[in-house]
Structure 1
Amino acid sequence: MSSANPLLDAWKTPFEAPPFDKITPADYRPAFDAALEKHRAEVAAIASSTEEPSFQNVIEAMEDSGRALDRVSSTFFNLAGAHTNDELEAIERDMAPILSRHDSEIYLNDELFRRVDALYQRRDQLSLTPEQNRVLERYHTAFVRSGGGKPEAVKKRLAEISERLATLSTTFGQNILADERSWTLVLDSEADLDGLSEAQIAAAAKAAEDRGLAGKHVITLSRSSVEPFLQSSRRRDLREKAFMAWISRGEHSGANDNRPLVAEMVALRAERARLLGFETFAAYKLDDTMAKTPDAVRGLLKQVWAPAKTRAAKERADLQELAARQGDNIEIEAWDWRYYSEALRRERYDLDDAEIKPYLQLDRIIEAAFDTATRLFGVTFKERHDVPVYHPDVRAWEVTSADGKHVGLFLGDYFARPSKHSGAWMTSFRNQERLAGEIRPIILNVMNFSKPPEGKPALIGMDDARTLFHEFGHGLHGLLSDVTYPLVSGTHVSRDFVELPSQLYEHWLEEPEVLSRFAVHHETGEPMPEALLSRLLAARRFNQGFATVEYTASALVDLEFHLLPSADGLDPIRFERDVLEKIGMPRAIVMRHRTPHFSHVFSGGYSAGYYSYLWSEVLDADAFDAFKETGNIFDPTTATKLRDYIYSAGGRQDPHDAYRNFRGRDASPEALLKKRGLNAVDLATAEV
């Protein structure tokens, strides 16, 4: 597909990385059009073939098709998330329904489905490898769950629903970004800065400078900006103002109002489920996960909800008592929780975030993540400055194996900016596979840490450090992938299994063996004092009632939205409120992600699936125990099994089998409660 378009030409860059220095927004739409046309022709040739269906001329041909479209799409959508602008957002809105229509044309193609189904029905006679059998099964499942074989009228409506949902999802995400861009809390006076550390003040000054407000200080709606402010600011009025803005993103009348979008999406998802033979969208979505049923998800959430509420009630009473001792005649509200919780943590554990951050340099935590991977899996990281990147803040590392072979390219984009969507995520510009030769991955981690002033080190909090390890765990899942077929490469696994490699990786950060080496003072180079390290680790379970309640409430609201058999006349905010009232949501805690900005569910892939973080946490807590039981958190034998059955295996086997192969048994939920420090209570009292 040689042309004057850099997206379609051969990429003669190091590691064949995207040539960002040559790509302009004007290149994307022509590249999409050309790549779509090519993919349509490839699929048509597979569907219309007169040869007897075989794994090679159907499944492998499908896997080998659409490569130009994959390359254009991954490049475009990664920029649309991490460094967007008005031009890219317009293209994103245009392309969402077009790409959805294209997928529907493939998965609702009768001729193609017949060929896939013919192979599936005689799969036991095809002498397939286990991976090939898995790929065939996944293709057949994808066709059936998309409506393959349904009557024409049903397929037509399913395609319409998918197209509309794609548009709504794109708009939902762009509305959140627009709200985040448009709001800032300007701190005009010294009094406005009361309670903030020097590092926080410097970060607020940098945020102001980036927004053309040099000389002022600004708090943004990035979690790495607003949460530290809520923890530190002594100005209760400003805490309330920042908190209310934070939790009301997407909930304002006007162009960025996400409430009607939520109602329409829930209704469309319910209709799609009914057309495919399921009572609810949750039943449809969970049928293809480890959990399988809404009842299984509800059971897991119920198991932690009661002890979490009990713990949170005790935590709130402690905060109320602290406020009284300090002479603050207030009732603890949601915008107070983080402030008094941080004060109580200082009192109980002699910990101050301002004391901890100087030891948590971003560069050193990156090194810690890399070193952990080296000790577990033998891979090493060398920074490269010759790889084109899409923003000056992006860094690139070549990853090599213990024997010096190229494993992949890892990109890190760590700082918040107005052009970047909030949150943290892992994605890829290219996935590992062997079908088209030895294709090595290009993996990207995106975060939103506050950028320090020029010449100053980036200092992050412990939660930020966990986020970095979490996303790097996803990154390793992509980098270490060792499969033949693209469909099962890397993170292409069940939604409630995909968080296992990332959440498991977080455990190593909190081990003294890691922190004692990499938590060093940014000025003196001295390691974190042993006493401070001990206090930091002792406080790991502090405030876990709050953390578990805010997460579990979000998961329950997500589930209840998608258990609606229909959603005519749905008022999303009232529905959210009713669910929270029913489960007994503590008054001073707010969902971690309220409905109007719940991007995981309404612009991501976690609809009816936000529970999966907790489901995977059962696995990760149990999996880390496998290392603990050996007495060595880097035990080579256990690490080899972890790599072989989890990190490198992609989706080439059923996730239940993958975990059993690693652990030798199913996971035990008790490890989760132990990890969170939640005591068992009478679960019958849980109003779930």
Structure 2
Amino acid sequence: MSEPRQITDSETNPLLKAWVTPFAAPPFDEIKPEHFLPAFEQAFADHSAEIAAITNDPAAPDFANTITALERSGKLLSKVAAVFYDLVSAHSNPAILEIDKEVSLRMARHWNPIMMNAVLFGRIAHLHENRASLGLTPEQLRLLERTYTRFHRSGAGLSDEAKTRMAEINERLAQLGTGFSHHLLGDEQDWFLELGEADRQGLPESLIAGAKAAAEERGMAGKAIVTLSRSSVEPFLKSSARRDLREKVYKAFIARGDNGNANDNNATIVQVLKLREESAKLLGYPTFAAYRLEDSMAKTPEAVRSLLERVWKPARARALADRDDMQALITEEGGNFKLAAWDWRFYAEKLRLQRANFDDAAIKPYLALDNMIAAAFDCATRLFGVTFEERKDVPVWHPDVRVWEMKGRDGKHKALFYGDYFARPSKRSGAWMTSLRDQQKLDGDVAPLILNICNFTKGADGGPSLLSPDDARTLFHEFGHGLHGMLSNVTYPSLSGTAVFTDFVELPSQLYEHWQERPEVLQKFARHYQTVEPLPDDLLQRFLAARKFNQGFATVEFVSSALVDLEFHTQPASAAEDVRAFERRELEKIGMPEEIALRHRPTQFGHIFTGDHYAAGYYSYMWSEVMDADAFGAFEEAGDIFDPAVAKRLHDDIYSSGGSVDPEAAYEAFRGRPPEPDALLRRRGLLDTAKAA
């Protein structure tokens, strides 16, 4: 097969031209796969020249010619990479995935000599040693400390031999992470379950409509399918009366990346763990977890384990009690089988209906996607004074993508917000926030371009997409990350928006979830998609009463995943030569109920194996939850969930400060004290169980 012709001319390659679009947004309608490699070539060359100029500057190092110059470098590379990685994750094709293999390796080869440049590090270290006498602003001091830490932790101070080996490790890890991601996408694209009429027992109309839309997306118009997207699998497991099909779907879902085929991720995991362990030891740390956590709020593996174990015990006790109640329900119904993992969600729904007279199917007609987007925007308006207006003139990467302009309280442009909400085969699973451009004020007032990518099920035949309560919460979660990027108000790009510790980055997103489930918000925006009637008060009360139901299960599937992640990165890599045996051993050690699976089994754990951002860091969601549960209490104590004074502190100290302030100091500035640890257990309804234990 002939290679696509590479377009190198800066006058014809849209990635190398100035973007004459609204707000200088990427011209996705002009960008083709063959544009990327030439653009990356140019970007790597430009960045290398900029770094060489800083490194070889004959003038003595100062903040402007070293740190500020570093902040200004690599603009083209950031611009090209942001567009490329958006397409890799949100709308890939075979050509893009092939390019990704090459780019991931080239990216590692580009950054290694920069991050391990001894002369450049010498200039940074000199400034760091003399930082007290440089007359820096607090943000500049923070930037200097973060820059020094980043270079030091990348191996800039190592011997030449160790640097060579570290570079080899980084290159191989980049390839392995890309391969892991491609394998997972491959398994998800290859599998679906077609639903004939007899296969639809118990399924609500909204799920069947979504299954038809998913089939149409795959060129199977007129049929209905379940895919391996979580937003397809979980509703099916909750509602399907066909136990045999629940088992089939569940087993396919948890087997992603673990099928002994070309997409198998077991060998990849073993290699990743060995290389991470070696890199940590080169840098002087006993384990990768020790290395990773030193630069976090938690600081040590022991602190992480302490938090997880504190939550694990009451969560497991609650889950086991629920399991016994579900088994009794099966017996009452005349079932002569033992509750299995593929039964849990189905019988949990029945139990919730019995205890709280509520199930998800009852509320979904009131949670139309458009209404929940409007609710997320309205909460931001009431809290921060920002407004949103949809724009039809901004180019997008897929027809389903929508764009809004966010304006500040003063009515001036502040950001563009892209929402890409529906599942499709070209998109990896999950939900995430990212950016095409970060906010900064170093060279003019640069407004950010912020993305939310989700995998909700599309409504059939042009009908509305109806969200489950979990989906609605996910929408608010990702929009909370989005606000963190859009409200950012810092000078330097490296400190912009979500450029904070991983165990702090989930605070703005998880905190925002609280507004989604408040009566004040639901009464206004939860309206029936057909009748436009508001959510009936009795259904609202039942929904609120049922919120803490099944929290034992949800906490167990999360904490077990976080503990396995921690063990992968604290034990010797040789202990995980057999990934399945390691997983089994660790779950036995903590007493994992056999009826519950990990939220992410190792072979599909993209958080920790497609890159190292969450490696030894999956616990971060729970660390942040201690803060978010406590932080929302500030609004409750004020007696108004939109209290202007509390909202102003939230804006100034959390959402707009990016990484310019130490996270502990930022939290205490907002709350007036450190977080109260029991807030997490209280939010999950596990405090009484914890006290009893």
Shorter-chain-normalised TM-score: which range?
A: over 0.9
Aligned equivalent of 2:175:
167
> SS where residue 448 of structure 1 aligns?
strand
Task: Give the superposition deviation at 1:683.
Answer: 8.7
Contact 1:271 1:566 in 2 (8 A): no
Deviations 1:451-503 (A, max 9, x none): 11232111111000000000000000000000000000000000000000000
Aligned equivalent of 2:471:
464
Deviations 1:161-207 (A, max 9, x none): 1110011001101100000000001112x221111011111111121
In 1: Cα distance, 2:630 partner to 2:96 partner: 43
In 2: Cα distance, 1:441 partner to 1:531 partner: 42
Aligned equivalent of 2:596:
589
Contact 2:678 2:687 in 1 (8 A): no
In 2: Cα distance, 1:423 partner to 1:292 partner: 28
Taking structure 1 as reference, are residues 684 and 560 closer, same or farther at Cα in structure 2, changes over 3 Å only?
farther
Aligned equivalent of 2:118:
110
Contact 1:195 1:234 in 2 (8 A): yes
Contact 1:306 1:683 in 2 (8 A): no
Deviations 1:559-605 (A, max 9, x none): 00000234377111110110000010011000000000000010141
2:24 to 8, 16, 37: 16
Aligned equivalent of 1:312:
319
Indicate the larger mover: 211-220 or 531-540: 211-220
TM-score, normalisation: structure 2: 0.98
> What is the correspondence of 1:208-223 to structure 2 with a 5 Å cutoff?
208-223=215-230
2:578 to 552, 568, 571: 571
Task: Give the superposition deviation at 1:2.
Answer: 4.5
Aligned equivalent of 2:248:
241
In 2: Cα distance, 1:454 partner to 1:436 partner: 47
Which amino acid is 1:329 matched to?
A: N
Task: Give the superposition deviation at 1:679.
Answer: 3.1
Task: Give the superposition deviation at 1:681.
Answer: 5.4
Aligned equivalent of 1:269:
276
Contact 2:231 2:456 in 1 (8 A): yes
Aligned equivalent of 1:515:
522
Contact 1:270 1:564 in 2 (8 A): no
> What is the correspondence of 1:1-150 to structure 2 with a 5 Å cutoff?
2-150=10-158
Aligned equivalent of 1:643:
651
In 2: Cα distance, 1:208 partner to 1:396 partner: 26
Aligned equivalent of 2:406:
399
Please, which runs of 5 or more residues in structure 2 have no aligned partner? 1-8
Contact 1:307 1:681 in 2 (8 A): yes
Task: Give the superposition deviation at 1:432.
Answer: 0.1
Please provide the CA RMSD for this pair: 1.2
Task: Give the superposition deviation at 1:79.
Answer: 0.8
Contact 2:25 2:449 in 1 (8 A): yes
Contact 2:575 2:582 in 1 (8 A): no
Contact 2:344 2:595 in 1 (8 A): yes
In 2: Cα distance, 1:324 partner to 1:564 partner: 42
In 1: Cα distance, 2:692 partner to 2:285 partner: 29
Taking structure 1 as reference, are residues 566 and 208 closer, same or farther at Cα in structure 2, changes over 3 Å only?
closer
Aligned equivalent of 2:533:
526
Deviations 1:92-141 (A, max 9, x none): 01111110111111110111011111111101110000000000000000
In 1: Cα distance, 2:10 partner to 2:72 partner: 18
2:435 to 425, 428, 433: 428
Task: Give the superposition deviation at 1:525.
Answer: 0.8
> SS where residue 410 of structure 1 aligns?
strand
Taking structure 1 as reference, are residues 540 and 222 closer, same or farther at Cα in structure 2, changes over 3 Å only?
same
Aligned equivalent of 1:659:
667
Task: Give the superposition deviation at 1:523.
Answer: 1.0
1:614 to 622, 626, 631: 622
In 2: Cα distance, 1:517 partner to 1:465 partner: 15
Contact 2:568 2:576 in 1 (8 A): no
> SS where residue 461 of structure 2 aligns?
coil
In 2: Cα distance, 1:310 partner to 1:349 partner: 20
In 2: Cα distance, 1:217 partner to 1:651 partner: 46
Deviations 1:61-114 (A, max 9, x none): 000000000000000001100000000000101111110111111110111011
Task: Give the superposition deviation at 1:613.
Answer: 0.3
In 1: Cα distance, 2:141 partner to 2:646 partner: 28
In 2: Cα distance, 1:20 partner to 1:546 partner: 42
Indicate the larger mover: 645-654 or 198-207: 198-207
In 1: Cα distance, 2:198 partner to 2:15 partner: 52
Aligned equivalent of 2:203:
196
- Residue identity over aligned pairs, in percent, reads 58
Contact 1:267 1:568 in 2 (8 A): no
Contact 2:326 2:347 in 1 (8 A): yes
User: Is 1:674 equivalent to 2:693 in the alignment?
Assistant: no
In 2: Cα distance, 1:210 partner to 1:93 partner: 26
Aligned equivalent of 2:458:
451
In 2: Cα distance, 1:166 partner to 1:218 partner: 34
Which amino acid is 1:491 matched to?
A: T
2:166 to 158, 162, 186: 158
In 2: Cα distance, 1:388 partner to 1:211 partner: 24
> What is the correspondence of 1:214-613 to structure 2 with a 5 Å cutoff?
214-567=221-574, 570-604=577-611, 605-613=613-621
Contact 1:470 1:502 in 2 (8 A): yes
In 1: Cα distance, 2:576 partner to 2:526 partner: 53
TM-score, normalisation: structure 1: 0.98
In 2: Cα distance, 1:152 partner to 1:345 partner: 61
In 1: Cα distance, 2:547 partner to 2:689 partner: 21
In 2: Cα distance, 1:62 partner to 1:148 partner: 15
Please, which runs of 5 or more residues in structure 1 have no aligned partner? none
> SS where residue 267 of structure 1 aligns?
helix
In 2: Cα distance, 1:455 partner to 1:140 partner: 53
Which amino acid is 1:165 matched to?
A: L
> SS where residue 354 of structure 1 aligns?
helix
In 1: Cα distance, 2:340 partner to 2:141 partner: 55
Task: Give the superposition deviation at 1:212.
Answer: 2.5
In 2: Cα distance, 1:161 partner to 1:415 partner: 36
Contact 2:79 2:437 in 1 (8 A): yes
Taking structure 1 as reference, are residues 682 and 507 closer, same or farther at Cα in structure 2, changes over 3 Å only?
closer
Indicate the larger mover: 498-507 or 222-231: 222-231
Contact 2:270 2:573 in 1 (8 A): no
Contact 2:377 2:387 in 1 (8 A): yes
Task: Give the superposition deviation at 1:352.
Answer: 3.0
Which amino acid is 1:401 matched to?
A: G
Which amino acid is 2:83 matched to?
A: T
In 1: Cα distance, 2:590 partner to 2:289 partner: 19
